[in-house]
Amino acid sequence: MKTSIATVSISGDLREKLAAIAAAGFDGVEIFENDFLAFDGSPAEVGQMIRDHGLEITLFQPFRDFEGMPEPYRARAFDRAERKFDLMQELGTDLMLVCSNVSPHSLGGIDRLADDFRELGERAERRNLRVGYEALAWGAHINDHRDAWEVVRRADHPNIGLILDSFHTLARRIDVNSIRAIPGDRIFIVQLADAPLVDMDLLFWSRHFRNMPGEGDLPVADFMRAVAAAGYDGPLSLEIFNDQFRGGSPKSIAIDGHRSLLALMDQVRRSEPNIAIDVPPMPDRIRVEGVEFVEFAASEREAQQLTSLLKTMGFDETARHRTKDVTLHRQGAINVVVNTEKEGLAHSAYVMHGATAYAMGLRVEDAAATVERARALGAQTFEQPAGPGELVIPAIRGVGGGVIYFLDGKSDLGRVWEIEFEFSEAGTSSDAGLVSVDHVAQTMNYEEMLTWLLFYTSIFRTRKLPMVDVIDPAGLVRSQVIESDDGTLRLTLNGAENRRTLAGRFIAESFGSSVQHLAFATRDIFKTAAALKDQGSQTLAISPNYYDDLQARFGLAPDLTERLRAANILYDRDDRGEYFQLYSPNYGEGFFFEIVERRDGYKGYGAANAPFRIAAQKRMLGTPGLVA
Ligand SMILES: O=C(O)c1ccc(O)c(O)c1
Ligand SMILES: [Mg+2]
């Protein structure tokens, strides 16, 4: 598989774009003409610069408003094409993209267009160049790849072929199976882009909202299956017009792009086993069996505060690490680890962020295979020297430089607690009925959300839910759920657009993205609330107005409303069941715990309650003495 990306997809000047594209592992690059025009080097220098990066130029584009023109426009279009052919030869590329004409002067008629392309093909052939025709979704006469193919077929010239672009086909909901009948060698290049499903003008949607395959909602994998079935095996080239990417980090957007192509083709290979698809071998997406632990890095003072907060939630100190300053606090299947080591990654995470949940451990079937897939998709692996008697736990770097460890039952990894920890004799005394980690919420800048969405969904067998807007009194926070089908892994990514929201403040105060809250599941929220109260635990005080509305909205029995109000429990309901939520006060730089009960298969996350929870947390932050 040959990977390519259009320069337009990445921010920076041409030099920065190329460096990022090469570093991410692409084989080639499409030169988007404006990126070349804005650059002050000659075509030969640009071509050399690209080859010096080990890249080839897969395509020069776009050439606009060519076909179907009446005179005198027609003659001028051919003159223009000759000038661009000169440029392509100086750059060192043999393929040009002609996108379908949008000019009001253009005329339709398949044969007229085919005749123009036949003549262009003859001119290209004299110079050993090729021309591909792409149907823009908003083309004046040609806006469907099936019509573009008919023009190419009738042009009947070996130097004229078809260019497919997933966006134009999928945005118009054209049946992708129509691609299967096109001879693969007549497709000169395939451009790929995804996009979120939003109802807007096609041109505006295409120019501002495209994103990497897997980041949006279009069936790009189905499109690629059809392309593979057609026998096409040339470059797969990302062409992503995206306002956010234009201002983003060239390096991380290029890495995301490369990852998206590998993950896409891995998926296509698995669904088309009879087609030879040249993508590096890797294990299939990994099923996560559960969150085994969450680990905090803290100073001794903060560790004490955290330990007492945990105690009020029913977590005793269950065990101590045999050689390190690390304690384990267990309740049900929840393992909270508190690390106060003065060296290693936990310490650097502490120095960087303050007290922080910098690591989590996931239970998987095969930890080594998990790291293998992550590595194949360009994730950074993590290894820390193991002390005597310690296990080397396979791991990768995640959000904010944190770590994701993998534990399996295949090896000693499944016995990590017994091997590395000394359990105290005293049994747990203060159980509050918490049974498992329901979800882990990571807060990040809005611009990072697609990166981590792609990271999680490409490595793990998870899916994304539609993004929801959460209203903070100081601005919007976007919330993106990523979850496994059976709920064994549930993550919420919260993207902050400014520093005044609770999420934005957290990023600013803790110097970057990290876990902002951890939600534990209980089977009886009222029992848990009572146990917490007995332990002297505070809960987040919710506005009484909220409960009046709740009763009206859901028609709740007055005594249930009263019980919810008395315990500061938030409530939600979907078509299956009910959801109850309870929050701890803030800890450290704005971290908090949540306790939830899902009844009868409730699937959501209580998004409707988020504004009221946030307002309450902001009130609490504004009250000196109440912030832990
Ligand atoms: O938006 C455009 O004009 C445009 C140009 C060239 C392409 O390949 C494309 O997909 C869109
Ligand atoms: Mg295109």
CATH code for the domain of 347: 3.10.180.10
**Does 389 lie in the same domain as 322?**
yes
Q: What is the pLDDT of residue 589?
A: 79
pLDDT for 625 beyond 50: no
What is the average pLDDT across 242-260? Answer: 96
pLDDT for 603 beyond 90: yes
Asked if 35 and 17 touch (Cβ cutoff 8 Å), the reply is yes
Q: What is the pLDDT of residue 427?
A: 61
Percent of the chain with pLDDT over 90: 90
C-alpha 76 – ligand 1 centre gap (Å):
21
**Does 116 lie in the same domain as 38?**
yes
> Which of the two residues, 373 and 624, has the higher pLDDT score?
373
| Ligand 1 atom nearest residue 61's Cα | 6
Total count of domains within the chain = 3
**Does 381 lie in the same domain as 242?**
no
pLDDT for 624 beyond 80: no
Evaluate whether residue 93 is within a structural domain: yes
Ligand 1 neighbour 97 (Cβ under 6 A) = yes
**Does 441 lie in the same domain as 509?**
yes
Which of 63, 239, 242 for mutating ligand 1's site (highest number of atoms within 8 Å of CB)? 239
Percent of the chain with pLDDT over 70: 98
What CA dihedral angle connects 61, 66, 68 and 70, to 10 degrees?
A: 170
Q: What is the pLDDT of residue 628?
A: 36
Among 245, 271, 297, residue at a domain's last position: 271
Binding site as annotated, residues for Mg(2+): 439, 517, 594
Average pLDDT of the chain to the nearest whole number: 95
Q: Tell me the per-residue pLDDT of 188-241, one tens digit each, with 9 for 90 and over.
A: 999 999 999 999 999 999 999 999 999 999 999 999 999 999 999 999 999 999
Ligand 1 neighbour 239 (Cβ under 6 A) = yes
**Does 267 lie in the same domain as 212?**
yes
Ligand 1 neighbour 206 (Cβ under 6 A) = yes
**Does 390 lie in the same domain as 365?**
yes
**Residue 382 lies in domain:** 288-423
Q: Tell me the per-residue pLDDT of 63-115, one tens digit each, with 9 for 90 and over.
A: 999 999 999 999 999 999 999 999 999 999 999 999 999 999 999 999 999 99
**Does 450 lie in the same domain as 378?**
no
CA angle 590, 593, 599 (to 5 degrees): 145
Q: What is the pLDDT of residue 627?
A: 39
**Does 491 lie in the same domain as 375?**
no
Ligand 1 neighbour 165 (Cβ under 6 A) = yes
Evaluate whether residue 56 is within a structural domain: yes
CA–CA dist 448, 140 (Å, integer)? 37
Among 393, 423, 453, residue at a domain's last position: 423
Q: Tell me the per-residue pLDDT of 479-496, one tens digit each, with 9 for 90 and over.
A: 999 999 999 999 999 999
**Does 356 lie in the same domain as 453?**
no
**Does 231 lie in the same domain as 320?**
no
Q: What is the pLDDT of residue 575?
A: 96
Burial class (CB in 10 A: 0-12, 13-18, 19+), 223: buried
- ipTM for the predicted complex: 0.99
CATH code for the domain of 239: 3.20.20.150
**Does 375 lie in the same domain as 266?**
no
Evaluate whether residue 181 is within a structural domain: yes
What are the DSSP calls for 143-192, one per residue? -SHHHHHHHHHHH--TTEEEEEEHHHHHHTT--GGGGTTS-GGGEEEEEE
pLDDT for 318 beyond 60: yes
Ligand 1 neighbour 139 (Cβ under 6 A) = no
Q: What is the pLDDT of residue 235?
A: 98
What is the average pLDDT across 564-583? Answer: 97
Binding site as annotated, residues: 134, 165, 191, 239, 439, 517, 594
Burial class (CB in 10 A: 0-12, 13-18, 19+), 202: middle
**Does 585 lie in the same domain as 491?**
yes
Evaluate whether residue 342 is within a structural domain: yes
